[in-house]
Structure 1
Amino acid sequence: MRQSTRSEPQSAKFASMFEQEVVATFDASALTSDAGLLALGALDRKLKLTERLCASLSDGRQAGKVSHTHHDLFRQRVYAVAAGYADGNDARSNRADPMFKAVCDRDPVSGRDLASQPTLSRFERSVGRREVVEMGRAFEQERISSLARRNRGARRVVIDMDATEDQAHGQQTFSFFNAFYDGHCFLPLLAFVSVPDDPEQVLFAARLRPGTGASHRGVIPLLRRAVAQLRREMPKARILVRMDSGFVTPRLLSVLEELAVDYVLGLPGNSVLLRRSRRFVKGLRKQVQATGLAARQFGEFSYAAGTWERERRVVVKAEYLPPPARGGNGKIKRNLRCIVTNLKSSPRHVYEVDYCDRGDSENRIKELKEDLALGRTSSTSFLANQLRVLTSATAFALYQEMRWELRGTDLARAQTSTLRMRLVKIAGQLIRSTRRILVRLPKACPDAGTWCRLARRLGAAPA
């Protein structure tokens, strides 16, 4: 358990390690190590993201006794996750941080501290099912609208959906043993929307789901809502839906065709697909043996599984791979993939361009899990855990918008961890006067120019 260090100043003296004696003390006031959080707070105000998500929250507390509104509590958690403080216990230290107080509209010097960990936990557990659902819907609508606003003339928009493992290590509600992942887990559903001319895959849904059951749980209602909104806001765009084999069901295929969208979906292997794909692998093994290089061939055929009402186009990628340079069993490996699609382009183009690009969403999921604590679902309440997932998703949305505002800079495609390290983790001193709050940042900050450019794009003027 982390012990408090606020009772007395902490210090360290380096008597003989440097040319002169060096003494370090933790006793300076109104200083922060997260001064760059000011830009994220300004970005949130520009988008009104946390405000819109909290609009559906009802507050039954006595107004005269409320010290922290639900909006304050939610954005405190969002900003903390964005700054790298994923655990609710981190509120013990950052609730008094002057920059956290400033971005939550409190006086950074003399203002009341932000919420404590117990208050944040009570807030998480107080949010009801309907409110969590409405917050998720508001997130969907805002994120799709954000993409649409800057891509009105797009001719193609792509929806990617994927599931990911969220390991559970306790007795969380609806965390079950999953044989595929060989452990107890949740299976969150994550959905992204993008256009070819904008490399950002915008996260528009993050739904926590039980650890067992079908991967396609909840996909069709989400898909219907997304397609309807995209048709309203991007009427010129043709919609392409991409998913892996875990999502394919006869019902999903019928709904995709009912919605009149393009689709390219992975197919789980079976004996029929294997038998019908054999003609595409002929000669590939000999080619690998002769050249030592991978050999690949594409083909297609019409196919209907026993539960499908009709045949559909199946594209095949047949490939043989040479033995790995190190390790392995020294044998040539066959790699066969089948996808079902209604696209008309060549099999190679369908697979290599239309389908394989969906793999980039794995990088976005990695950012969510490793940088923004998507898997911090340790509450015994399933709804509280869903709120935590939405908190991480909201922090990620702010970073995605930051990347957009940083277009034309060397950080336009930077990962979340890089953006946090270079633009948020900046030392600063906050000084309050009767007219303003002055934030003094290091003159030697290597990214001062980029940070100021970001601030200008968010509406700040030269001081």
Structure 2
Amino acid sequence: MATTCIPQITFGFEPKGKPVVAAFDVPHASVDGGAVLLKSLDTQLQLTKRLAGCLVDQRQPGKVQHQTLELVRQRVFGLACGYADCNDAERLADDVIHKLLLDRDPIAGRALASQPTLSRFENAVGWQQLRDMAHVLADTVIETQRRRLKGRATRITIDLDPTDDPTHGQQEFTFFNGHYDTWCYLPIVATVTFNDEPEQFAVASVLRPGNAPATRGARGILRRLLAKLRDAFPKATFRVRLDGGFAHPKLFAFLEQQQVEYVVAMACNARLEKRARRLMGKARMLSKAIGQTAHLYGETRYAARKWKRKRRVIIKAEVVRHPGRDPKNNPRFVVTNLPDDPETVYQLYCGRGDVENRLKELHHGLEMDRTSCEHFLANQFRVLLTLAAYVLFQELRRRAVGTACAHAQVTTLRERLVKVAVWVQSSVRRIVLHFPTTFPWLPTWRRIARAVGATT
């Protein structure tokens, strides 16, 4: 009887005089064993199921081998595990854990969908379905936090931030953007913060053409988010923080109409620079006296030419000093309707800087910018699937409170908790996941597993 030849690799070093041989001969194993944590969270949130419910399957029923829900889960969990491309489908087709994540038998279940199937799936989605998915993502995050806080949030802060998504082909609506000096899309990401908590929960991500002004879509996103948040937290006060690209009279009028607090940066101009001249002089004197960077705060009433009325503008007069360099003036301006003292208002605005970390997680941790489909709607679909994976990671991080992973970025969470070797054994009664006894993050993993619903 013929036996299967298993290729082996022999290394050149020999500890204790014994050759080291690598043999890929363990069946029913995976390197993504920890993804069951994300699966448990998805089961609780019903996120992928609700997203799949937004999609209309126009395929012939008799020829369908992979249901819409399975395709959504394959993409979302694939993104979460670090497989951003549909091309990765071939390498993962028989992975036991990825089958398990789709509720298939990890051993006997059929292979996952192929790259062509996933590509057709991504390109079959329309605007209405994408809009419904965006609502589901926002509703899921808001409802999850409402249950956690029991509807008792006193202040909710909304941050919007655009980011570049460089393109390298002939994608629809990709244009050259002078600010980023590249051909790109210009997605906008919305996050919400509850009370004084540090976590900023991503609730929306809208893909826009590369030449879109910063304000495009901002009012629509804010209008929908404010309506949802007011329904969930009727007693909360709402605050909106935006960078200088959003300083537009229509947006100010909208925020005032919505009766929300706002803190919006504004670019320097000749009139504002003149208003800040006296304060800058004092800052230069202070910086010279102490020999280091100095900043002072003040305020003025200001109206740009297209504004219908004056608004309060906070002035930060900063003089930056570096060893071996001449001091540099760095005036900054923030438009606000808050009554607090200037320094307090400016520090509140600076809190939005942490949004950059959320963008880095989306870009580098989940590759949100892998928008390589030819069609714009397919790329928007990818962005929403990436956001869904990020929602699961943010909830995983929240459940990791009290552990070394409580403040970890997505890449660290994946490295410590998801990328775990596992051997899967299936019997009539149960499926057993065999993890290494020497797993370095075992105590943390066990604690988080219990936090996401596992029992001991």
TM range, smaller chain: over 0.9
Whether the 8 Å CA contact 2:40–2:452 is kept in 1: the answer is: yes
Amino acid across the alignment from 1:103: L
Percent of aligned pairs sharing the same letter: 45
Helix, strand or coil: the match of 1:439?
strand
Q: Deviations for 1:323-382, whole angstroms, at most 9, x for unmatched residues?
A: x337xxx21111110010000000000001x10000001001001000100100011111
The aligned residue for residue 235 of structure 1 is 234
Choose which of 385, 402, 411 in structure 1 pairs with 2:405: 411
The answer for the alignment partner of 1:346 in structure 2 is 341
Correspondence 1:367-406 to 2 at 5 A: 367-406=361-400
Q: CA 1:11 to 1:197, structure 2 compared with 1: closer, same or farther past 3 Å?
A: farther
> Residue 129 of structure 1 aligns to which amino acid in structure 2?
W
The DSSP-based 3-state class of the residue aligned with 1:283 is helix
TM-score (structure 2 length as normaliser): 0.96
Which residue of 2 is the match for residue 40 of structure 1? Answer: 38
- Aligned equivalents of 2:30, 2:352: Cα separation in 1: 40
* Aligned AA (2:76): V
Residue by residue over 1:427-451, the C-alpha shift from the partner in whole angstroms, topping out at 9 and shown as x without a partner, is: 0000000001000011111111221
Whether 2:209 is the aligned partner of 1:214: answer: no
Aligned partner of residue 89 in structure 1, secondary structure = helix
Asked if residue 461 in structure 1 is aligned to residue 420 in structure 2, the reply is no
Query: CA separation of 1:314/1:13 partners in 2, compared to 1, >3 Å: closer, same or farther?
Result: same
Q: Is the 8 A contact 1:164 1:188 kept in 2?
A: yes
Q: Which residue of 1 aligns with 2:168?
A: 169
Code of the aligned partner of 1:203: A
Letter in 1 for 2:336: T
Given candidates 81, 88, 97, the residue that maps to 2:79 is: 81
Give, in angstroms, the shift of residue 15 of structure 1: 4.8
**TM-score, normalization by structure 1:** 0.95
CA shift in 2, pair 1:8/1:421, >3 Å: farther
SS at match of 1:315: strand
State the distance in 1 between where 2:143 and 2:253 align: 27
Which residue, 139, 142, 145 being the options, matches 1:144?
142
CA-based RMSD: 1.4
State the secondary structure of the residue aligned to 2:396.
helix
Distance 1:171 1:432 in 2: 46
Task: Specify the SS of the correspondent of 1:141.
Answer: helix
Deviation string for 1:218-255 (max 9, x for gaps)?
11011011111111111121000000010121111111
- Would the aligned equivalents of 2:186 and 2:212 in 1 still touch at CA under 8 Å? no
Match in the other structure for 1:24 = 22
Residue identity matched to 1:112: R
Structure 2 counterpart of 1:403, one-letter code = R
Query: 2:8 is matched with which residue?
Result: 11
Partner Cα separation in structure 1 for residue 23 and residue 124 of structure 2:
40
Instruction: Give how far 1:9 is off.
Output: 4.8
Cα offset for 1:60? 1.7
Q: Deviations over 1:147-170 (max 9, x none)?
A: 222222221110000000100111
Instruction: Please report how far the alpha carbon of residue 146 of structure 1 lies from its aligned counterpart in structure 2 after TM superposition.
Output: 2.1
The answer to whether the 8 Å contact 1:321/1:332 transfers is: yes
Rounded Cα–Cα distance in structure 2 between residues aligned with 1:416 and 1:388? 18
Alignment gaps of 5+ in structure 2: none
Classify the secondary structure of the residue corresponding to 2:330: strand
2:384 is aligned with what amino acid? L
In structure 1, give the amino acid aligned to 2:298: G
Report the alpha carbon displacement of residue 16 of structure 1 after superposing the two structures with TM: 3.9
Q: Does structure 2 retain, via aligned residues, the 8 Å contact 1:147–1:202? A: no
1:426 to 404, 420, 430: 420
Tell me which residue corresponds to 1:366: 360
Q: Does the CA-based 8 Å contact 1:147-1:194 persist in structure 2? A: no
Partners of 2:270 and 2:74 in 1: CA distance: 53
Rounded Cα–Cα distance in structure 2 between residues aligned with 1:318 and 1:180: 25
Taking the aligned partners of 1:8 and 1:156, their CA distance within structure 2 comes to: 65
Of 237-246 and 87-96, the range deviating more from structure 2: 87-96
The CA distance in 2 between the partners of 1:273 and 1:399, in whole Å, is: 43
2:32 is paired with a residue whose SS is coil
Q: Which amino acid in structure 2 is aligned with residue 363 of structure 1?
A: N
> Which deviates the most, 294-303 or 450-459?
450-459
CA spacing shift, 1:41–1:345, aligned 2, 3 Å:
same
Partner of 1:131: 129
- In the TM superposition, residue 309 of structure 1 has moved relative to its aligned partner by 0.9
Q: Secondary structure at the match of 1:12?
A: strand
Q: Is the alpha carbon distance of 1:101 and 1:412 closer, same or farther for their aligned partners in structure 2, counting shifts above 3 Å?
A: same
Q: How many residues in Structure 1 have an aligned counterpart in Structure 2?
A: 451
Match of 1:61 in 2: 59
- Corresponding residue for residue 3 of structure 1: none
Q: Within the alignment, does 1:293 sit opposite 2:300 as a pair?
A: no
Q: Give the aligned residue type for 2:219.
A: I
Residue 4 of structure 1: aligned partner = none
| Aligned residue identity for 2:160 | M
Displacement of 1:81 in angstroms is: 0.9
Aligned residues of 1:187 and 1:208 also touching (Cα < 8 A)? yes
Task: Say which SS state the counterpart of residue 203 (structure 1) adopts.
Answer: strand
User: Are the aligned partners of 1:157 and 1:240 in contact in 2 as well (CA < 8 Å)?
Assistant: yes
- Between the aligned partners of 2:256 and 2:236, the Cα distance in structure 1 is 17
| Structure 1 residues 107 and 273: CA distance shift in structure 2, 3 A | same
Retained in 1: the 8 A contact 2:137–2:204? Answer: yes
Aligned to 2:306: 307
TM-superposed deviation, 1:145: 2.0
| Residue 287 (structure 1) shift | 2.7
Return the letter of the residue paired with 1:204: V
